[in-house]
């Protein structure tokens, strides 16, 4: 190539190069799909093999074609492009398949009755019953966890960013928060169980507040980390501007720093809540199961959606009532996914609503 | 009541690093004092030490005396917050509060200090401060709009309005015009001239014409040598500094024959 561009006949460097037609990619894709199907039929293999062969032909074909027409740089670009897209599609397959399956199988189960009834008296029957108690339990336990973890988390983050920066205590706290991130959820459950054994003297305590404490342990590092990042994003200029007006530090934090970062803080906190709403292991240990709604977090087992799904699963092999239990599991799974996705959506909406406005 | 500032043997440190050495200045009440000099020689550092903003930076400290109308600024028992209420500051880059409207930005100093005031009193302060900062006519119809929506020059004048809304005794300005176009710069300079009748103003600037235009006294800062702390080379009335300075380095700097 270098020799060509310096050829004495050309005189100046060319700025044009060969180009594939705009429809090159779909053309190769159709061609590769055809080859894949034919090869698959000839070899007598399944769909997965066909897709793999087609993908291989597509990537190689596009590379070779582009290389001969456009040169090696563009050929590499097209290949990497294809690889990145393939990786993206590969990553999306389980997610899409999961959502589709749960919606298809759980959708028909959702009825006003399923959402408004609990399992009292229905557990041994082949019909009826619902998950009202589990939905309410999940909401109550998650809310308790949020009430415990969010203030502690926000205040810790404020200390780390505004007061502790560079101090040994802050470094220790940051390290411990990192360690906390890695706590297995079942260990958080065990902590809650042993805590309430020590407090209540019961051999195996079952109570909602225990679930709240276990979940708050899991939430805390996420909340601290996300709030810390948000507070760090607030420009120091604003703090100095506030100090220069003679505003005390705590008022600067309350009136300037927090309002500036509130969108990010609320988003981070909501995502942390969504993250723990689906936890199963600790709730299985400390909240147990219960056939009806229990609004008293300080006494008695509380049913939650993940635990409901887990315990119902063992009933799906029941000779007579297996099918209804299967339906209940899918329905409960769909409701849990809807709750978590709704929290994610709320986080985004809140983030947009609170974002500082720059409009003229 | 504008105040005078007396600085004696001021040394300023960042951690162990001595940034500025042995500054002695007398800043007169109701006058404009300009600090000029090359970058990194400690002008802003000295300015920030005049309202105890210096110590906001971790590890920063000073030794020596700063007296405002005879009151020692660094005496034990002095509350930096109270100091800053009387000695306001305008920064190099405009920094209006992004969550607040123009109206709230002007009132920020009063509101954030939990001062209770009626609607009419608040309106008065906003109008007076914005008029004082030459911004009233441009924004009077959109006081409820976000302060970040203004242009750079307007934002800077908004910050000046915010600083004078709390009626400080002294106004410190750290290169207030370095991010502004000539028209906004001229507006800010006019403003400095007007404010002089009520406030003591100290301004750091890289623009020598500006120093010559607005100031009564000028201090020239320079590094002793490369790697040495900065120092105040000369402090004299502006006319003298720009026509017949005592120091050779000052003359070289103001005439553009520096280094």
**Complex confidence, ipTM:** 0.86
Tokens (6 digits) for B145? 């709009």
The domain defined by A113-354 carries CATH number 3.90.1300.10: no
Flag if B145 and A239 touch (Cβ within 8 Å). no
Contact residues, chain A, for B99 at CB < 8 Å: 256, 259-260, 356
Mean pLDDT, to the nearest integer, of A175-197? 90
- Residues A245 and B112: beta-carbon distance below 8 Å: yes
Nearest to B97 among A238, A244, A360 (CB): A238
Mean pLDDT, to the nearest integer, of B60-78? 85
pLDDT at A158 > cutoff 70: yes
| pLDDT confidence tier of residue B246, bands split at 50, 70 and 90 | confident
Burial (Cβ within 10 Å: 0-12, 13-18, ≥19) of residue B194: middle
Among A144-158, A336-350, B199-213, the range of highest mean pLDDT: A144-158
Mean pLDDT, to the nearest integer, of B142-161? 85
Question: Cα A206 to chain center, whole Å?
Answer: 28
Of chain A, the percentage scoring pLDDT greater than 70 comes to: 93
| pLDDT confidence tier of residue A6, bands split at 50, 70 and 90 | very low
| pLDDT confidence tier of residue A7, bands split at 50, 70 and 90 | very low
pLDDT at A331 > cutoff 80: yes
Res A88: pLDDT: 94
Mean pLDDT, to the nearest integer, of B125-132? 86
pLDDT at A356 > cutoff 70: no
CA of A114: how far to CAs of A22, A140, A259, A309, in Å?
A: 53, 19, 42, 14
The CA-based dihedral angle spanning residues B67, B69, B70, B75, taken in that order and rounded to the nearest 10 degrees: -40
SS3 of residue A113 by DSSP: helix
- Residues A197 and A205: beta-carbon distance below 8 Å: yes
Res A3: pLDDT: 45
Task: For residue A198, give the nearest of A215, A179, A176, A213 by alpha carbon.
Answer: A213
| pLDDT confidence tier of residue A153, bands split at 50, 70 and 90 | very high
| pLDDT confidence tier of residue A127, bands split at 50, 70 and 90 | low
Q: Which residue of A has its CA nearest to B89?
A: A244
Res A41: pLDDT: 84
Burial (Cβ within 10 Å: 0-12, 13-18, ≥19) of residue A3: exposed
**Sequence ranges of the domains in chain A:** 24-107, 113-354
- Ranges A125-129, A149-153, A264-268, A348-352: which has the least confidence: A125-129
Cross-strand pairs, B72:
B67
Contact residues, chain B, for A166 at CB < 8 Å: 58
Q: CB contact, 8 Å: A168 with chain B? A: no
Res A286: pLDDT: 83
Nearest to A246 among B96, B159, B166 (CB): B166
Task: For residue B226, give the nearest of B70, B38, B47 by alpha carbon.
Answer: B38
pLDDT at A283 > cutoff 90: no
SS3 of residue B173 by DSSP: strand
DSSP A280-347: -HHHHHHT---SS----TTSB----HHHHHHHHHTTTT-TTTHHHHHHHHHHHHHHHHHHHHHHHHHH
Task: For residue A204, give the nearest of A124, A119, A289, A128 by alpha carbon.
Answer: A289
B-contacting residues in A 127-166 (Cβ below 8 Å): 165-166
Mean pLDDT, to the nearest integer, of A193-205? 84
Q: Which residue of B has its CA nearest to A357?
A: B146
Flag if A358 and B162 touch (Cβ within 8 Å). no
What is the average pLDDT value for chain B, to the nearest integer? 85
- Residues B83 and B119: beta-carbon distance below 8 Å: no
């Amino acid at each position: 190539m270098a020799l060509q561009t310096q050829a004495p006949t050309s005189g100046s460097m060319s700025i044009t190069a060969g180009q594939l037609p705009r429809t090159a990619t779909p053309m190769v894709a159709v061609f590769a799909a055809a080859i894949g199907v034919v090869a698959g039929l000839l070899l007598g293999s399944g769909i997965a093999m066909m897709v793999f062969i087609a993908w291989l032909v597509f990537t190689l074909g596009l590379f070779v074609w582009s290389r001969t027409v456009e040169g090696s740089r563009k050929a590499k670009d097209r290949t990497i492009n294809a690889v990145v897209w393939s990786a993206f599609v590969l990553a999306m397959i389980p997610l899409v398949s999961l959502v589709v399956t749960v919606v298809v199988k759980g959708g028909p189960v959702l009825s006003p009755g399923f959402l408004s009834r609990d399992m009292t008296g229905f557990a041994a029957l082949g019909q009826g019953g619902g998950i009202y108690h589990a939905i309410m339990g999940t909401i109550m336990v998650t809310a308790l966890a949020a009430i415990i973890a969010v203030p502690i988390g926000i205040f810790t983050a404020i200390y780390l960013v505004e007061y502790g920066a560079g101090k040994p205590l802050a470094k220790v706290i940051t390290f411990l928060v990192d360690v906390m991130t890695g706590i297995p959820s079942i260990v958080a459950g065990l902590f809650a169980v042993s805590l309430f054994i020590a407090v209540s003297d019961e051999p195996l305590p079952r109570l909602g507040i225990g679930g709240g404490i276990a979940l708050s342990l899991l939430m805390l590092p996420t909340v601290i980390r996300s709030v810390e990042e948000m507070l760090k994003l607030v420009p120091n200029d604003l703090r100095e501007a506030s100090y220069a007006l003679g505003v005390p530090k705590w008022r600067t934090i309350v009136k300037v720093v927090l309002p500036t970062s509130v969108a990010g803080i609320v988003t981070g906190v909501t995502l942390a809540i969504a993250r723990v709403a689906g936890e199963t292991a600790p709730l299985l240990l400390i909240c147990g199961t219960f056939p009806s709604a229990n609004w008293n977090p300080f006494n008695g087992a509380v049913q939650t959606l993940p635990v409901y799904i887990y315990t119902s699963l063992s009933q799906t092999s029941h000779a007579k009532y297996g099918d209804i239990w299967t339906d209940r599991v899918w329905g409960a799974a769909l409701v849990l996914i809807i709750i978590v996705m709704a929290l994610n959506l709320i986080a985004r909406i809140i983030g947009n609503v609170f974002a500082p406005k720059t409009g003229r | 009541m504008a105040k005078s500032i007396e600085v004696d043997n001021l040394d300023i440190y960042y951690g162990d690093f001595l940034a500025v050495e042995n500054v002695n200045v007398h800043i007169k009440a109701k006058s404009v004092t300009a600090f000029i000099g090359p970058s990194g020689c400690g002008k802003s550092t000295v300015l920030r030490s005049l309202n105890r903003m210096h110590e906001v930076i971790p590890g920063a400290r000073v030794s020596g005396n700063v007296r405002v109308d005879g009151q020692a600024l660094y005496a034990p028992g002095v509350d930096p917050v109270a100091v800053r209420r009387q000695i306001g500051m305008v920064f190099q880059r405009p920094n209006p509060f992004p969550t607040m409207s123009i109206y709230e930005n002007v009132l920020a100093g009063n509101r954030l200090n939990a001062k209770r005031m009626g609607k009419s009193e608040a309106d008065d302060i906003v109008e007076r401060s914005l008029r004082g900062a030459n911004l009233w006519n441009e924004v009077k119809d959109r006081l409820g709009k976000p302060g970040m929506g203004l242009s750079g020059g307007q934002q800077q004048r908004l910050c000046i309005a915010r600083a004078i809304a709390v009626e400080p005794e002294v106004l410190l300005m750290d290169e207030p015009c370095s991010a502004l176009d000539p028209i906004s710069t001229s507006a800010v300079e006019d403003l400095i001239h007007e404010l002089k009748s009520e406030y003591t103003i100290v301004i750091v600037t890289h623009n020598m014409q500006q120093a010559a235009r607005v100031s009564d006294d000028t201090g020239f800062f320079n590094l002793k040598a490369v790697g040495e702390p900065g120092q105040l080379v000369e402090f004299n009335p502006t006319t003298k500094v720009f026509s017949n300075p005592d120091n050779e380095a000052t003359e070289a700097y103001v005439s553009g024959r520096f280094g």
